[in-house]
Amino acid sequence: MRVFSRQVVLGGHPYRIGPATVEIEGSRIVGVSEGARTGEVDLDLGDKLVSPAFVDPHTHVALHALRGIGFAQTDGNVVEDLFYRFERLLSAEDIAAFARMGAYDRLLSGVGLVWDHYFHGEAIARALAELPMTAVIAPTLQDLDGPGVDRWEAELEATITIARDAGLAERGIVAALGPHATDTVSESLWERVLDEHDALGVPIHAHLAQSVEEAERARDRHNRSCVGWLRDLGVLEVPAVFAHALFVNSEELESFDERHTLIACPHAQLHFGFPARIDLWQRAGVRWGVATDAAASNDSCSLREELRYAAGFATAPASFSDAYAAFLHQTGDARGVWRARTRARHVLEEATPAGLLHKVWGFAGGLHRGLRAGVIAEGALANLAVWDLEDVSVWPAHDPLAALVYADAEHALHAMIVAGQVVGTPGDLRRSIVTSDTFRAHRAEANDRLGRLLAQLD
């Protein structure tokens, strides 16, 4: 398939926008010819902006089934109190059905690749491959506590199966090792994960220091911090993507290097009432990205919204600064507050539209050596998002990249190509998908399964 536009996002960060023809074979881009259109193309997109589809580096697509359910429960440990009870009831078929719904929502907000972490990972892998949605699947491993405690051997087996499945790889589905967290995975299972890393060469994708309980359990059981314990186990010697990293001290932040990536999930963390300090991560020189986590704790699940939060976070610390406290108590002046604001802004200087988009394009798309995504270049997954810059939600788009970060650009999403397949009808993307027989059948199945599960919870 050949796709042409006069406005294709080319290069890495920094980006340039220009005319190009993108040549696609199977799920991959096999060539990019810059310049005016020459010869026949299958899709001429005119002046529409063609960008890489977004990469969501930490999510649980099946938790779409719990959207909105956690709000009444945010005082306790919502993961343990509510999710676990629900999750213990789930079959592989339930999870596949819910994963499809979560993936449709991602598709309609411009996401083409998800780093998913959940039980019955193989069922998710096969459901997403059909949709299509590309993914790094980490079947959740936990042997001490949690709903998957009796399934860790099966999930490890599934990890190996996915990692060795050439058919899935061709469709843009690969594996990561998914130890759940430091308090739900034993020392021996972490060691087993390291062995499998050596055998498979795939990265680790885990939650890290997410809750006060996890931090206290590390202290009680191992007499050290979550990061300190992982360091002693040798886990920090291999490439890893760590979600949340809330209870990580400054010295530990400084010790992360190019093998480690911390992921903030701003809106999910706002829901829990404790957003990660990405400004401090930046100051410590840590590699970091943003992700959605799950609809259970982030109803929007729009990765683009996470970018706008990250951009806003550049200035938010001024409101909580000592300088502003001094102003409130009449011991400091307005100019002092403004200086604090300017210092905070300086720290997140890379929070420009292009810098933020890079986090969900080439940066997140380069975290797994088994596939390349988030960039329009030969060899990368053919995951493209097409934006109508004439849509009123982004018009007049003087700076198209700024429009993607700051405007409600989902409304301008004209077409999606995922794993080389055109999803829905270009120009009628949302309606064509949500009125299709396939979507309706998938939603009916998910509704039916969810109804039965919730009845069991009452």
Q: Interface with Zn ion by CB under 5 A: which residues?
A: 293
Contact 241, 57 (CB under 8 A): yes
Closer Cβ to Zn ion, 143 or 293, answer by number: 293
DSSP class of residue 304 equals H
Strands 111-118, 43-44: pairing kind: unpaired
Closer Cβ to Zn ion, 266 or 355, answer by number: 266
Instruction: Provide the minimum distance between the beta carbon of 266 and Zn ion in the complex, in angstroms, as a whole number.
Output: 13
Instruction: Provide the minimum distance between the beta carbon of 167 and Zn ion in the complex, in angstroms, as a whole number.
Output: 28
Query: In sequence order, which residues have a C-beta less than 8 Å from that of residue 435 and are 6 or more positions away?
Result: none
Closer Cβ to Zn ion, 175 or 422, answer by number: 175
Cis preceding linkage at 396, omega within 30: yes
Closer Cβ to Zn ion, 23 or 293, answer by number: 293
DSSP class of residue 79 equals I
Residue nearest to Zn ion (CB): 293
Q: Which helix (H) or strand (E) holds 449?
A: helix 437-457
Structural tokens at position 99: 């994963």
- C-alpha 167/C-alpha 190 separation (Å) is 28
Closer Cβ to Zn ion, 293 or 305, answer by number: 293
Closer Cβ to Zn ion, 241 or 356, answer by number: 241
Burial class of residue 439 in the structure, from the number of CB atoms within 10 Å of its CB (0-12 exposed, 13-18 middle, 19+ buried): middle
Closer Cβ to Zn ion, 293 or 410, answer by number: 293
Instruction: Provide the minimum distance between the beta carbon of 245 and Zn ion in the complex, in angstroms, as a whole number.
Output: 12
Closer Cβ to Zn ion, 43 or 63, answer by number: 63
Count of residues making up the chain: 458
Contact 357, 364 (CB under 8 A): no
Closer Cβ to Zn ion, 281 or 387, answer by number: 281
Instruction: Provide the minimum distance between the beta carbon of 63 and Zn ion in the complex, in angstroms, as a whole number.
Output: 8
Burial class of residue 80 in the structure, from the number of CB atoms within 10 Å of its CB (0-12 exposed, 13-18 middle, 19+ buried): middle
Instruction: Provide the minimum distance between the beta carbon of 210 and Zn ion in the complex, in angstroms, as a whole number.
Output: 8
Instruction: Provide the minimum distance between the beta carbon of 59 and Zn ion in the complex, in angstroms, as a whole number.
Output: 7
Instruction: Provide the minimum distance between the beta carbon of 293 and Zn ion in the complex, in angstroms, as a whole number.
Output: 5
Instruction: Provide the minimum distance between the beta carbon of 291 and Zn ion in the complex, in angstroms, as a whole number.
Output: 8
- C-alpha 4/C-alpha 415 separation (Å) is 13
Instruction: Provide the minimum distance between the beta carbon of 89 and Zn ion in the complex, in angstroms, as a whole number.
Output: 19
Best CA proximity match to 29, nearest among 418, 413, 322: 418
Structural tokens at position 73: 């429960």
Q: Residue 201, SS3? A: coil
- C-alpha 296/C-alpha 430 separation (Å) is 22
Q: Which amino acid is at 365?
A: G
